Each structure stands twice: as structure tokens, then as C-alpha cells.
């Protein structure tokens, strides 16, 4: 069985690593890795391949940045050529980035079976590109692997036959479990001159938060409030940095007291910082899951989440992205002990990749 797994952007790499390890246990599976190149620089891409021990991709389409339409069209044309040459039995896509949807459409149009890992998640907010990518990918996938019950419910409502859907758990948690000890040894805290639990870790990159001035001002206000009582550690995503610079706000952020502004960090360094954060404030999808697994308080600066299990069972609290005062009030309560304790969802146990590989190896395709 020949499978091409597709990755394009940072959150995909953590899901590829455990899958690649699991497929290696099946001599009948030939696993080809294709990177679309949506994320392309050292800090957003290469470092993850090194730290997660993923081999160099067999193909890198080198598409890079650009509008979403450009990215998808360019990926589809280049991927079509690869599929014609390789004729794989299956294409496997993960998550909800542009590469996921573009490669899904290309594969299905060429009659190749499509596997979607992390299927069925819904924010119910179609202004998010990721929501469109999820909807498009799921409705054309042949096999859908899901991380939480809400995904099963959504796919059922959307008419996906249940025999196509497999509850397997969470690949990103596989990776976290695999590398937790190594991450705990990372020296990032001494480099930043911070100690365990003395800081709030922040990430922000959603277009709904950073692609307009009101959102950026709201983030700056939130940081200013938190920094009066906790050090804020903020590795800044390239999208956010570009927007801050273009709105003339970069210097304001970079010179704030008690705020450590960093470039994007490697997987091990970032996981190290989550492990001992007093709390995390984010708009990321995956970080909501990682903090819930690690029982670290998380405030998500968004009005919706496609990962409701992190709110129902985990540590996650959603707060409107234009309400920095509320984040501050909730954070203060959390730090004074009024916090949620997490219950780990079923199958978030480090064995998800093994389940997926076993199911795929036994598919009657």
C-alpha cells in the first residue's frame, strides 16, 4: 500500500511524526511524505523536522506564502503532477490548513482514496479559513479519523456514513507524550531568565485577532494588564509581527515592561514553557488540547472553539477576543486558585498513531 501524507504548516508536523513512526512498523506500507511549503522557514518548519525526528520530505512543493486562493491553486497544480507520477493508493491529510483542503480535492478528483486525520471538528464560524477547509475535506474523505465525540456528532449530522468514521484519539498527544521528558530538559527558561510558574505564556496569530488594528490593540491591552503581576512570554508568529509592524505597534509591544517578546520557538522549547506556565493565553487550536492534557490553565482568546472537549473536560476557558479586561479578571481568579482541573479524553493516550496505522493496514480498499 502506497500512502502519501501531506503536511503544509506548523500544526501539521506534530501529527505527522507519530504517524511516520507507526507506519514504519508495517513493511507493506510505503509511506511518502509531501510538504507543500506553506510554512517554509527555519523557525516555522525546519526545526520541527529536526526536533520531531521526521525525515526530509520526499517532495517539497515549495509553494510558500500568498493569498489563500494562490496557495491552494499552486498546491493543486503541483500535487496533481506528483500524484500522476506516484499513483498512490491513498492520500492522508491532517488538520485544517490550506494544504489539507487543496490536496484533498486534488486526490479525490484523481480517484485516489482520501484519509482525513482530525476530522469532524467544527467552530461553526465560516469566517475562519480553517472551518471551510474542514468542511470541504470531510465531505469528500473516504476514511475519517477523529479526536473527540463532538466530531462524531458533527459528521453524523452532515450525513457522513458512520462506517467511514473512526474514533482513535489525538495524534498531537502522542507526540507530546513521546517528547515530554526531552522537552522538560530544554534550557529555554534559563535563556529567558524565568522560573517555573512565574510567567504567562501567550500566542496569537488568528486573522480574527491580528489582521485588524482593534484586535492588535486589544491584545496589547491584555498584555499590559497581565504584565503588572506576571511576566508575559510571547513568541510572535510571523503573521502577527507583520501586522504589528504595519499598524505601527511593534515598538509598543517590544518595549513593554515585564514582557518577553520572542521569535517563534521550536517544539521542545515551547512544550517546556507550557509544562511550567502559570497559565497560557492563546488563540491556537492545538495549544487548547496540549494545555488540557497537561492540566495547565488555558484561556482561549476567541468566541468559538472547534475543540469543545477542551472546555467541557479540560482546562480551557473561551473569552471574547475584544474583551481584554475579562481575560485579566478570569486569569486573576485562576491564579488565585479558582481553576478547572482537567479530565483526559478517551484515547488521548499516546497510542493514536498505532490505532490509525492498524486500521489503515487492514482496510479493504
- Contact pick of 44, 318, 335, 359 for ligand UD1 (by CB under 6 A): 44
Name the 3-class secondary structure at 217: helix
Is 59 in contact with 52 (CB distance < 8 Å)? Answer: no
CB of 131 to ligand UD1, least distance (A): 10
Closest CA to 85 of 55, 61, 63, 121: 61
53 scored as a contact of ligand UD1 (CB under 6 A): no
| Count of helix runs (H) and strand runs (E) in the chain | 17, 13
Stretch that binds ligand UD1, among 35-43, 116-124, 318-326, 336-344 (CB under 6 A): 35-43
CB of 340 to ligand UD1, least distance (A): 24
205 scored as a contact of ligand UD1 (CB under 6 A): yes
Decide the pairing of beta strands 279-282 and 259-262.
Answer: unpaired
324 scored as a contact of ligand UD1 (CB under 6 A): no
- Contact pick of 76, 92, 97, 115 for ligand UD1 (by CB under 6 A): 97
CB of 225 to ligand UD1, least distance (A): 25
Q: Could you tell me how many residues of this chain bind ligand UD1 (CB under 6 A)?
A: 19
Nearer to ligand UD1, 148 or 283 (CB): 283
Nearer to ligand UD1, 44 or 346 (CB): 44
CB of 243 to ligand UD1, least distance (A): 9
What are the helix (H) ranges across the chain?
10-23, 47-51, 68-86, 98-109, 129-140, 149-157, 171-184, 188-192, 207-210, 213-226, 238-246, 250-254, 267-275, 286-294, 309-312, 324-335, 352-361
Closest CA to 332 of 289, 297, 291, 358: 297
Is 288 in contact with 186 (CB distance < 8 Å)? Answer: no
CB of 50 to ligand UD1, least distance (A): 15
> Among residue numbers 112 through 151, which ones bind ligand UD1 (CB under 6 A)?
129-130
Enumerate binding residues for ligand UD1 (CB under 6 A). Answer: 9-11, 38-41, 44-45, 65, 97-98, 129-130, 205, 237-239, 242
Amino acid at each position: 500500500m502506497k500512502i502519501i501524507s501531506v503536511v503544509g504548516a506548523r500544526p501539521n508536523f506534530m501529527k505527522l511524526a507519530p504517524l511516520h513512526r507507526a507506519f514504519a512498523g508495517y513493511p507493506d506500507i510505503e509511506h511518502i511524505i509531501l510538504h507543500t511549503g506553506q510554512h517554509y522557514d527555519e523557525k516555522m518548519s525546519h526545526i520541527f523536522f529536526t526536533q520531531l525526528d521526521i525525515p526530509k520530505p520526499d517532495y517539497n512543493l515549495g509553494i510558500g506564502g500568498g493569498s489563500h486562493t494562490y496557495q491552494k491553486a499552486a498546491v493543486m497544480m503541483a500535487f496533481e503532477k506528483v500524484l500522476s507520477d506516484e499513483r498512490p493508493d491513498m492520500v492522508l491529510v491532517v488538520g485544517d490548513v490550506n494544504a489539507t483542503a487543496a490536496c484533498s480535492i486534488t486526490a479525490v478528483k484523481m480517484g485516489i482514496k482520501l484519509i482525513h486525520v482530525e476530522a469532524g471538528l467544527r467552530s461553526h464560524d465560516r469566517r475562519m479559513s480553517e472551518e471551510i477547509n474542514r468542511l470541504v475535506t470531510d465531505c469528500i474523505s473516504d476514511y475519517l479519523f477523529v479526536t473527540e465525540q463532538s466530531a462524531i456528532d458533527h459528521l453524523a449530522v452532515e450525513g457522513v456514513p458512520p462506517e467511514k468514521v473512526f474514533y482513535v484519539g489525538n495524534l498531537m498527544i502522542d507526540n507530546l507524550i513521546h517528547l515530554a521528558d526531552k522537552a522538560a530538559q530544554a534550557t529555554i527558561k534559563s535563556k529567558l531568565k524565568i522560573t517555573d510558574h512565574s510567567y504567562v505564556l501567550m500566542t496569537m496569530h488568528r486573522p480574527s485577532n491580528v489582521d485588524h488594528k482593534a484586535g492588535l490593540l486589544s491584545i496589547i491591552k491584555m498584555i499590559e494588564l497581565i504584565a503588572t503581576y506576571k511576566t508575559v512570554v510571547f513568541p510572535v508568529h510571523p503573521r502577527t509581527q507583520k501586522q504589528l509592524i504595519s499598524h505601527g505597534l511593534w515598538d509598543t509591544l517590544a518595549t513593554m515592561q515585564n514582557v518577553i517578546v520572542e521569535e517563534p520557538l521550536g517544539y521542545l522549547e515551547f512544550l517546556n514553557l507550557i509544562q511550567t506556565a502559570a497559565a497560557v493565553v492563546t488563540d491556537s487550536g492545538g495549544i487548547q488540547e496540549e494545555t488540557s492534557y497537561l492540566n495547565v490553565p488555558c484561556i482561549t482568546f476567541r468566541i468559538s472553539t472547534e475543540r469543545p472537549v477542551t472546555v467541557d473536560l479540560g482546562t480551557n476557558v473561551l473569552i471574547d477576543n475584544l474583551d481584554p479586561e475579562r481575560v485579566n479578571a478570569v486569569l486573576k481568579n485562576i491564579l488565585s486558585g479558582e481553576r478547572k482541573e482537567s479530565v483526559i479524553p478517551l484515547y488521548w493516550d499516546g497510542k493514536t498513531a498505532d490505532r490509525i496505522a492498524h486500521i489503515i493496514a487492514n482496510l479493504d480498499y
